[in-house]
Amino acid sequence: MASIHDVAKEAGVSIATVSKVINDYTDVSDKTRKKVKLAIELLRYQPNVVARALVTGRSWTVGVLINIPFTNPYVAELLEGIKTALENSGYDLMRLSTRLNDPKYSFVDHCQSRNLDGVVVFGVEYDNPNLEQLVQSEIPAMFVDTALMGKRAGYITTDNEKAVEIAVQHLYDLGHHRIAYISGVLGHVMSDSRYSGYKQRLEVLNIPYDPSYFELCDYSFDGGSLSMRKLLSLPVPPTGIVCTSDMAAFGAIHEIEEQGMSVPDDISVIGFDNTYYAQVFKPALTTINQNTHNIGIRAIENLIKMIEKSDTPPPILTEPSSLVIRQSTGIVREL
């Protein structure tokens, strides 16, 4: 295995110069930098991570805290985007397990004990005190779908409000006037924005808001199924449903079929996420595409910018969304 001494000899420079190139010091000429990098590539030299950390004060590791089940397809696609962004970055990824409901626990202390350079956070309750502690800390952080800002913390989210407005409009254009909404738990920016989009589009379309057409769930298959069961038990059930996630939509469709009806002939259903399963589910799911893979990429890219340049302003990023029309929506047929 090649050593830093071998690289220095091959490039005809000092060990100190090789170290400067490895650690991205600016006081090295482009010509010398190219010679050193060529030698590193030729000899397949792998820098000692521990030594590199001592020089730079960085661990070259970022953490990810995702507080919802990894079985959720959204999580899989988000992690794939994170993985893509990290592949050629020089950073490794650590999945963080925490005790967020333990009053004695400190997420910031947890990150510092792991010597993390930064962290991506998704799915944690907005009012969890650990998030406020993180926002106030010096640890670079990117929140996904949680609108929290700090001196070194930014966030990325989908245009949630507009996305749900588009979904409601699609159902209306198909002749639906009895449009229900299966929401995530309110009190979070993401859920509240989507709910706001639902109510605003109803108002634009002159459809009176009916609270009986609103159900809460936890984004899961079972949650969507239970919410749909309640909606179907109404004296006048809805003909169109907008769901807060693809998983909830799958559960809703399952419940509709369990009760002897079909989608979209009897009821139209729209999901949110456009996960891989949306296109292979039967019927293929009409859903909001929120570019989850790209959200993961942009979260990491901007986190690394904050890590490597401490004066980088924390970003506020919005990923555009669009409606992908498939087989789960159709022209209204009154129940």
Q: Give per-residue pLDDT as tens, 191-242.
A: 889 999 999 999 999 999 999 999 999 889 999 999 999 999 999 999 999 9
Higher pLDDT, 181 or 159: 181
Query: Model confidence at 145, in pLDDT bands (50, 70, 90)?
Result: confident
CA 134 vs. chain centroid, Å, equals 18
Say if residue 227 is exposed, middle or buried (CB neighbours under 10 Å; 0-12, 13-18, 19+). Answer: buried
Query: Model confidence at 335, in pLDDT bands (50, 70, 90)?
Result: low
Higher pLDDT, 16 or 83: 83
Identity of the residue numbered 28: V
Backbone dihedral angles phi then psi of residue 119, each to the nearest 5 degrees: -150, 145
Within 8 A by CB and 6+ apart from 51, the residues are none
Q: Residue 277: how many CB atoms within 10 A of its CB? A: 16
Within 8 A by CB and 6+ apart from 256, the residues are 228, 232, 262, 263, 266, 267, 269
Q: Cα separation of 210 and 230, whole Å?
A: 14
**In the sheet that 118-122 helps form, which strands lie side by side, from edge to edge?**
92-95, 61-66, 118-122, 141-144, 153-158, 316-319
Strand ranges inside 173-284, DSSP E: 179-183, 214-216, 240-243, 268-273
Q: What is the pLDDT of residue 200?
A: 97
Q: Is 65 left (phi over 0), alpha (psi -120 to 50) or beta?
A: beta
Evaluate if residue 9 carries a pLDDT over 90. no
Q: Cα separation of 143 and 166, whole Å?
A: 25
**Which sign, positive or negative, has the C-alpha torsion 175, 261, 208, 217?**
negative
Q: Cα separation of 84 and 67, whole Å?
A: 21
Q: Cα separation of 292 and 268, whole Å?
A: 24
Closest CA to 159 of 51, 50, 304, 320: 320
Q: What is the pLDDT of residue 57?
A: 58
Q: Which two tokens stand for residue 242?
A: 């907008």
Evaluate if residue 253 carries a pLDDT over 80. yes
Evaluate if residue 299 carries a pLDDT over 60. yes
Q: What is the pLDDT of residue 183?
A: 95
Q: Helix crossing, 246-258 with 221-232: angle to 10°?
A: 50
Query: Model confidence at 7, in pLDDT bands (50, 70, 90)?
Result: confident
Q: What is the pLDDT of residue 42?
A: 86
Q: Residue 291: how many CB atoms within 10 A of its CB? A: 17
Between the CA of residue 235 and those of 210, 223, 238, 333, what are the distances in Å? 13, 21, 10, 17
Q: What is the pLDDT of residue 50?
A: 52
Query: Model confidence at 14, in pLDDT bands (50, 70, 90)?
Result: confident
Mean pLDDT of the chain, nearest integer: 89
Q: Cα separation of 194 and 190, whole Å?
A: 6
Q: Give the pLDDT confidence of 206-217 residue by residue, as tens digits.
A: 999 999 999 999
Evaluate if residue 120 carries a pLDDT over 90. yes
**3-state helix/strand/coil string of 79-96:** HHHHHHHHCCCCCEEEEC
Q: What is the pLDDT of residue 98?
A: 74
H-run or E-run covering 19: helix 15-22
User: Residue 142 pairs with which residues in a beta bridge?
Assistant: 120, 154
pTM, entire model: 0.77
Higher pLDDT, 311 or 226: 226
Between the CA of residue 264 and those of 20, 89, 232, 256, 332, what are the distances in Å? 63, 45, 15, 10, 8
Helices (H), 118-245: 129-136, 160-173, 189-204, 221-232
Query: Model confidence at 11, in pLDDT bands (50, 70, 90)?
Result: confident
